Chain A
């Protein structure tokens, strides 16, 4: 037992940041899953994460707010922004929505880069390391629970109807615009909380972490894992976070594998890695083969 705890201590001191990252990325992937489940391809989640990270870090550093309050503010701030820009932005659909949210993300990034209070390109340094493992675990669990409940509720059904056919959903009396706004705002909230958590264990944040690449990374996690249920995005987040670590020996070539995995999954596993129906069929074949 002692041997186990000692080893776990070693493991934890080396890899805790990595485990934390998996948790935060899982929340981000779930935040984009939420908007995707309503048929919205929004690439604003990295920007929402950034807003959450900066607001929370500034509140901690300048006003000394308590950590729970800071986390809440980190979620509320981007949600408020989402609510504000949602009404005009969500009139767009498909690729146009993706492009508009992308442009919004760039505006946020460049604004943060140029503001005095955010520390410009140097970012914010010396953020207290308040995040602990159980914070992330708890908030991730809450997110999963909330989203799982949401899926089975009237709201979740409405999201699904809108995703499948917007016009039909509207004709059935679903208030499409309001539900889209809800998905967009909730997604912003989750991404913001993830950003706040992230800021309080990395010690340092800079505008570079919330740009186009990160928006694309978040989307990639969800699509790689599969968006048919909640497990897929989290699986994708774990894979894309851990893969670069496992491939350290490849040095400069290691992202090559990342890109190749992405292409291969898109080509050969159209619904992502986690596809409940395929996995069930596979299990049945295993059992059938033995009998």
Chain B
């Protein structure tokens, strides 16, 4: 059964990584812990569901729509809330609290519009089919999830490493002021980052919604915890760390659920996190932090 568990772990882990990438990107570039990321994730899955059930859109169109819609939410949060706070030079705690407010608003709006009960994608929209390799059952859906997650992550990596845009973003991550002096449009890139990060969060929501076929207004909160766990594990603001951390969390969760009690597994994960923070605050894979005087 281990192979089956590993497959589950890979599916979950790849979505965790996708979710955490957006989270860590915002932290790396904007230096904001965006606690509305979980709610944006939830918005993504509801948008996809609404497109499929009300407009009879295909799954692919729904995914694109979900990315676009959640990206716009992220963009609006940046333009309407984070930008004025930046202009005011607010201490780092303040934008984080503002995003808590956004999260509450989005969750409450979803609850008011769609109700608190669990909603599901219609069975016929899910990719059907199942392969049997050895004694492992592979659902086509799982292949699609892993493929989409890795494809998007690959696009992001290439964009960050190879394009002018990515170079500019990395410059901002080092020092927004220096980047600005070099003539980089810092504000514009903040907007782009917010959009892209939220879009990644939104598609992660669709993928998780498909995987468990269950959507609720409150699905963002546990995911947010996992996102926090992943970026601590991988080092905050570290893109590669988010990928490794996401996969690691997926495996840790599935394995501990299979071989320990299902609940205590979470305690082990967070206990581990707590220890990692004490020993290596920059994360398992992060660079050593310089102590700022």
Are B81 and A263 within 8 A (Cβ)?
yes
Are A259 and B104 within 8 A (Cβ)?
yes
Are A99 and B228 within 8 A (Cβ)?
yes
How far is A92 from B289 in the complex, measured between Cα atoms in Å?
A: 11
How far is A273 from B261 in the complex, measured between Cα atoms in Å?
A: 46
Report 11 cross-chain contacts, Cβ distance below 8 Å, ordered by A residue. Answer: A96-B281, A99-B236, A106-B270, A107-B270, A212-B225, A219-B97, A252-B115, A259-B106, A260-B105, A266-B101, A267-B81
The B-contacting residues of A in range 110-134, CB under 8 angstroms, are 110-111, 113-114
Are A253 and B104 within 8 A (Cβ)?
no
Q: Does B103 reach chain A (CB closer than 8 Å)? A: yes
Task: Mark A220-238 against chain B: 1 for CB-CB distance below 8 A, else 0.
Answer: 1001000000000000000
**Residue of A95, A223, A260 touching B33 (CB-CB under 8 A):** A95
Whether A110 touches B94, Cβ cut-off 8 Å, given contacts A92-B281, A253-B108, A260-B101, is: no
Chain B contact residue count (CB 8 A cutoff):
45
B99's nearest neighbour on chain A, judged by CB, is: A263
The main secondary structure of chain B at its interface with chain A is helix
Chain B CB count within 10 A is highest, among A212, A216, A252, for: A252
**Residue of A103, A106, A263 touching B98 (CB-CB under 8 A):** A263
In order of increasing CB-CB distance, the 6 nearest A-B pairs are: A259-B104, A262-B101, A259-B105, A110-B267, A263-B101, A255-B108
Are A107 and B271 within 8 A (Cβ)?
yes
How many whole Å from B217's CB to the nearest CB in chain A?
9
Are A256 and B267 within 8 A (Cβ)?
no
Whether A252 touches B116, Cβ cut-off 8 Å, given contacts A107-B274, A220-B100, is: yes
How many whole Å from A56's CB to the nearest CB in chain B?
23
Are B105 and A89 within 8 A (Cβ)?
no
Q: Does B181 reach chain A (CB closer than 8 Å)? A: no
Chain A CB count within 10 A is highest, among B98, B104, B273, for: B104
Are A114 and B261 within 8 A (Cβ)?
yes
How far is A94 from B27 in the complex, measured between Cα atoms in Å?
A: 13
How far is A262 from B266 in the complex, measured between Cα atoms in Å?
A: 30
Q: Does B264 reach chain A (CB closer than 8 Å)? A: yes
How far is A89 from B275 in the complex, measured between Cα atoms in Å?
A: 10
Are B263 and A113 within 8 A (Cβ)?
yes
Task: Mark B76-96 against chain A: 1 for CB-CB distance below 8 A, else 0.
Answer: 000001001100101011100
**Residue of A102, A110, A263, A270 touching B102 (CB-CB under 8 A):** A263
Q: With A219-B97, A220-B100, A253-B112 given, name 20 new contacts (CB 8 A).
A: A92-B278, A99-B277, A100-B278, A103-B232, A103-B273, A107-B270, A110-B266, A223-B93, A223-B94, A251-B112, A252-B111, A252-B115, A252-B116, A253-B109, A255-B108, A256-B109, A261-B101, A267-B84, A267-B98, A270-B88
Whether A252 touches B97, Cβ cut-off 8 Å, given contacts A88-B278, A262-B104, A270-B88, is: no
Are A103 and B277 within 8 A (Cβ)?
yes
Are A223 and B97 within 8 A (Cβ)?
yes
Note all chain B residues with C-beta closer than 8 A to A88: 278
How many whole Å from B292's CB to the nearest CB in chain A?
9
How many whole Å from B78's CB to the nearest CB in chain A?
13
How far is A95 from B282 in the complex, measured between Cα atoms in Å?
A: 11
How many whole Å from B275's CB to the nearest CB in chain A?
9
A95's nearest neighbour on chain B, judged by CB, is: B33
Q: Does B293 reach chain A (CB closer than 8 Å)? A: yes
The A-contacting residues of B in range 29-66, CB under 8 angstroms, are 33, 35
B277's nearest neighbour on chain A, judged by CB, is: A100
Are A263 and B105 within 8 A (Cβ)?
yes
A41's nearest neighbour on chain B, judged by CB, is: B93
Are A167 and B267 within 8 A (Cβ)?
no
Interface size class of A (residues with CB under 8 A): 35 or more
Are B109 and A216 within 8 A (Cβ)?
no
Note all chain A residues with C-beta closer than 8 A to B94: 223, 266, 270
Note all chain A residues with C-beta closer than 8 A to B267: 106-107, 110-111, 114
How many whole Å from A52's CB to the nearest CB in chain B?
20
How far is A99 from B106 in the complex, measured between Cα atoms in Å?
A: 23
Task: Mark B182-202 against chain A: 1 for CB-CB distance below 8 A, else 0.
Answer: 000000000000000000000
Q: Does B221 reach chain A (CB closer than 8 Å)? A: yes
Task: Mark B234-276 against chain A: 1 for CB-CB distance below 8 A, else 0.
Answer: 0010000000000000000000000001011011001101100
How far is A213 from B94 in the complex, measured between Cα atoms in Å?
A: 17
How far is A86 from B109 in the complex, measured between Cα atoms in Å?
A: 39
Chain A CB count within 10 A is highest, among B103, B105, B112, for: B105
How far is A223 from B103 in the complex, measured between Cα atoms in Å?
A: 17
Q: Does A175 reach chain B (CB closer than 8 Å)? A: no
**Residue of B101, B108, B225 touching A106 (CB-CB under 8 A):** B225
Chain A CB count within 10 A is highest, among B101, B232, B267, B271, for: B101
Note all chain B residues with C-beta closer than 8 A to A253: 108-109, 111-112
How far is A212 from B225 in the complex, measured between Cα atoms in Å?
A: 9
How far is A262 from B94 in the complex, measured between Cα atoms in Å?
A: 11
Are B274 and A104 within 8 A (Cβ)?
yes
Q: Does A254 reach chain B (CB closer than 8 Å)? A: yes
Task: Mark A55-94 against chain B: 1 for CB-CB distance below 8 A, else 0.
Answer: 0000000000000000000000000000000001101101
Q: Does B216 reach chain A (CB closer than 8 Å)? A: no
How far is A91 from B277 in the complex, measured between Cα atoms in Å?
A: 10
How far is A213 from B155 in the complex, measured between Cα atoms in Å?
A: 34
